[in-house]
Structure 1
Amino acid sequence: MPDAPRQRRPYAARVPMEVRREQLMDAALRVIVRDGYGGVSVDAIAKEAGVTRPVVYGAFEGLGDLLTALLDRQQVRAFGRLLQALPEDADPADPVGLVKAGIEQLATMIREDPDTWRPILQPPEGLPEVVRQRIEADRERVRLIFADLIAGVSTTQDGPPFDAELYAHAVLAILEHFGRLLIDDPGRFTTERMVDGATRLLSMLWR
């Protein structure tokens, strides 16, 4: 009997490298959303994208390089949206109004595109070191922005100046935790509930 024909390996059509890199980062993001960082590997990403390992290594040097590129992309999207959430015409004399407007816009953006925020706000179980370092650097950038805002609010208040650095850590911790709640259980934690809770908590800091 003639030999049975060999089953060919899946063939990845040639596409421009930038398109391929985007496809692989999208695949990596889907794996992270579904399985967490512990489920991320070159094999898992290749399978999700419907390509072979050599295709992945042809676009990225390795898993660390791919995850760094993914975090770069997601950071640009998330950080840009976070800046959009901060009112341009904020009145430093009205810190509660500033918080309310910012939280409301941020909650809306997380609901509209949770996958952009998931790799950043997701608990760090199995988090690769390269990703952890990148996320922490991004958090520090956001902390500095909050510290500047809080320092501006402090100048409009009576009494001793605020500890802007400490308050910035507290504000960021609250926002990150609320963001996780929005992603994990959006039906239970409505935007209105989150805005009310955040403004009440943060207003206590500014009394």
Structure 2
Amino acid sequence: MSADERREQLLDVLADLVLSEGYGAASIDRIAREAGIARTVVYAHFGNLEGMQHALIARTENRALQGIRRVVPDAPVGEDPDALLLEALHGFLRGVHDDPITWRLALLPIDGAPAELRGVIQRAKDAVSGLIVPVIAWGLEQRGGPRGLDPALFTRLLITVLEDTARLVLEDPHANDPDRIVDFTRTLLQSISRD
């Protein structure tokens, strides 16, 4: 196993422990035991448990932001704004469905989470907002409203709704299939008049 593969394996072990038992259940001994390796290998990669937790948080942030960047285009774009929103929503929710570990770590409360995590979550929200605001502004202009809708405030609302919708997918992926949520959103958009 290469150094990068070993690092990913160890972070996967930590992620499984954190999601099943909380951050307090993780120790270098336990991670090494679960991975079937010597403790010195874990120390060589991360220095200590705190370093490993920081690496897991950074990996989670990176994966989540990459997933969002894949579905949010740069504005302006040449599509119908409603179709663009539905396509981006479907791509986002499909990503949540297909990578539940990353999104559980990013969106669900976990016992004993490091204080650093709150700052990382806020930084990620700010980055996502920076990606989305220009697209929302373009979409409102192309769509013809609703008039007076502030793109920055609407983006904050949209991010909150997306987080909650992603939690629904994580909690019960069968009842809250991405296609069902996209169909609901399509119906909602059709009910909002264009100016």
Query: How does the TM-score come out when normalised to structure 2?
Result: 0.81
The one-character-per-residue Cα deviations of 1:91-150 (angstroms, maximum 9, x if unpaired) are: 47x432222111111222222221232211222443211223222211210011111211
Structure 1 counterpart of 2:70, from 84, 88, 100: 84
Letter in 2 for 1:183: L
Letter in 2 for 1:56: V
Query: How does the TM-score come out when normalised to structure 1?
Result: 0.77
Letter in 1 for 2:65: F
Matches within 5 A, 1:1-207: 16-87=2-73, 90-91=77-78, 94-156=80-142, 157=144, 161-199=148-186
Q: Distance in 1 between matches of 2:115 and 2:106?
A: 14
Q: Distance in 2 between matches of 1:202 and 1:67?
A: 41
With over 3 angstroms needed to count, the CA separation of the structure-2 counterparts of 1:124 and 1:151, relative to structure 1, is farther
Q: 57-66 or 82-91, which moves further after superposition? A: 82-91
Larger radius of gyration: 1
Q: Distance in 1 between matches of 2:37 and 2:189?
A: 48
Letter in 1 for 2:82: V
Letter in 2 for 1:165: A
With over 3 angstroms needed to count, the CA separation of the structure-2 counterparts of 1:39 and 1:96, relative to structure 1, is farther
8 Å Cα contact 1:91-1:98 kept in structure 2: no
8 Å Cα contact 2:73-2:135 kept in structure 1: no
Letter in 2 for 1:191: P
Q: Distance in 2 between matches of 1:125 and 1:180?
A: 17
RMSD: 2.9
Other structure's SS at 2:173 match: coil
- Note the C-alpha offset of 1:199: 4.6
Q: Distance in 1 between matches of 2:130 and 2:175?
A: 31
Unaligned runs of at least 5 residues, structure 1: 1-14
Q: Distance in 2 between matches of 1:57 and 1:206?
A: 59
- Note the C-alpha offset of 1:163: 1.8
Which structure carries more helix by proportion?
Answer: 2
Percentage of matched positions with identical amino acids: 31
Letter in 2 for 1:137: R
Higher relative contact order at CA 8 Å, sep ≥6: structure 1 or structure 2? 2
Other structure's SS at 2:47 match: coil
